[in-house]
Amino acid sequence: MEKLIERFVKYIKIDSKSDPESTTTPSTEKQWNIARVLLEDLKEIGMQDVEIDEHAYVYATLPSNIDKEVPTIGFIAHFDTAPDYSGTNVNPQFIDSYDGGDIVLNKEKGLILSPSYFPELKKYVGQNLIHTDGNTLLGADDKAGVAEIMDAMDYLIKHPEIKHGKIRVGFNPDEEIGMGADKFNVEKFGADWAYTMDGSVVGELEYENFNAAGAKVKINGKSVHPGYAKDKMINSMLIAADFIQQFPKNETPETTEAYEGFYHLHNMKGDVELTELNYIIRDHDRKKFEDRKVFFKKVADDINKKYGEGTVDLELKDQYYNMREKVEPVKHIVDIVEESMKEMGIKPLIKAIRGGTDGAQLSFKGLPCPNIFAGGLNFHGPYEFVPVPSMEKARDLIIKIVEKTANKFGK
């Protein structure tokens, strides 16, 4: 346990925030810092074929220790942190045996992690927790997954009596900006299937996610002195307001759950002459997803008809698709995890991801890749925390999966 936490703390203290505005991979130079540390740590524990490519993707191998032919499986985690909150000077705080009360994160800022607002805290009474000091995110998304994979490989190397096939490990940048799998070399990775350790609470097992698209909308206006604007000024912000009002009010993130899709306006900026809107479009059902894109284009066309051609410029781009399509034909890779959890006394929580995962893109690149819990909660902000026993269970599950795979599929 101590080594697992030592690794986790070491990794979260390395600033590795990604940048959605960048055109490079990795998107930030600072991600190289943690990538190089992971490279050396993999070598230190005795992994083989350890390498880092020109885009900071880190790969390594744990060779098979049995004579039987066993499928090669992989474990993957991303080392970047969310761009929408600070990851600089992360200062983790530790609670031994949480008592169930309020946790003061930052007295000066008035930040309190309270079970009255975060009722899930009550589930962790008596457990050791790691949380932020209120100034940064924690980075459990997904450095918990990185530490768990590293610790599991270290354990397997030190315990050769646990029989397993060939295992591949991959650590990647830029997941938080939707680019984590873009330059992941599936052919070089060479696994029959893999798992991303990037979920939240204990028991999470996910093999379906949103179909996703991003839309960039530019609304063009005309700036004229307001004192002489009659029949001349075209205020792009007012047209943008009209554009926004065309979408159903009950199909936004804050009004939907489970399998319900949405349109999400997540960023806007503008003046009289130009207003820019950034949307994401999500739906689990592929047909509904395609219908949403058709509707989005229709709104743009209707606004152009109303205000004049060229008023709206639309760039609509698919981002990723529902991995269920690729995982269901090889459902045994999910069954192995479910069986392993049950044998460990963990109740499987099989649900659809209301978001994306590197595993979705990897699945469509030929590497079926469900997602497994890593233990953290309240990601991307100062209320993020991770229960230590959850990380331990994630690490132990990795070990159980490789052992079960060898027993179940060895020939």
pLDDT at 215: 97
Any idea how long the chain is? 411
- For the chain, what percent of residues have pLDDT higher than 90? 94
Taking phi first (over 0 means left), then psi (-120 to 50 degrees means alpha), and beta for anything else, what does residue 139 get?
Answer: left
Q: Is there a catalytic annotation at residue 67?
A: no
Task: Tell whether pTM > 0.85.
Answer: yes
Q: Structural domain boundaries of the chain?
A: 2-208+322-409, 211-320
Q: How confident is the model at residue 410 (pLDDT cuts 50, 70, 90)?
A: low
Q: Which of 337, 402, 385, 401 is nearest to 111 (CA)?
A: 385
Q: Is there a catalytic annotation at residue 151?
A: no
pLDDT at 409: 84
Q: Examine the pLDDT at 247 and tell me if it is beyond 90.
A: yes
Are 236 and 270 in contact by the 8 Å Cβ rule? The answer is yes
CB atoms within 10 A of CB 296: 20
DSSP H/E element including 303:
helix 286-307
In whole numbers, what is the pLDDT of the chain averaged over residues?
96
> Could you name the CATH architecture of 2-208+322-409?
3-Layer(aba) Sandwich (3.40)
pLDDT at 411: 59
Q: What is the pLDDT of residues 368-382, one digit of tens each?
A: 999 999 999 999 999
Strand blocks (E) in 45-192:
48-52, 58-62, 73-78, 93-95, 103-106, 111-113, 129-131, 167-172
Mean pLDDT of 160-176: 96
| ∠ Cα 361 362 368 (to 5°) | 120
Q: What is the pLDDT of residues 74-114, one digit of tens each?
A: 999 999 999 989 999 999 999 999 999 999 999 999 999 99
Q: What is the pLDDT of residues 261-281, one digit of tens each?
A: 999 999 999 999 999 999 999
At residue 280, φ and ψ (nearest 5 deg) are -120, 145
CB atoms within 10 A of CB 12: 28
Q: Residues near 384 by Cβ (< 8 Å), separated by ≥ 6?
A: 131, 132, 137, 138, 139, 140, 141, 376, 377, 378
pLDDT at 319: 86
Instruction: Tell me which of 15, 19, 41, 80 is the catalytic residue.
Output: 80
Instruction: Tell me which of 19, 175, 198, 204 is the catalytic residue.
Output: 175
Mean pLDDT of 239-247: 98
For domain 211-320, is the CATH number 3.30.70.360? yes
pLDDT at 89: 96
Give me 295's structure tokens: 């509707």
Mean pLDDT of 164-187: 95
Domains 2-208+322-409 and 211-320 share a fold: no
Q: What is the pLDDT of residues 329-379, one digit of tens each?
A: 999 999 999 999 999 999 999 988 887 778 999 999 999 999 999 999 999
Q: How confident is the model at residue 185 (pLDDT cuts 50, 70, 90)?
A: very high
Q: How confident is the model at residue 211 (pLDDT cuts 50, 70, 90)?
A: very high
Q: How confident is the model at residue 1 (pLDDT cuts 50, 70, 90)?
A: low
Q: What is the pLDDT of residues 139-163, one digit of tens each?
A: 999 999 999 999 999 999 999 999 9
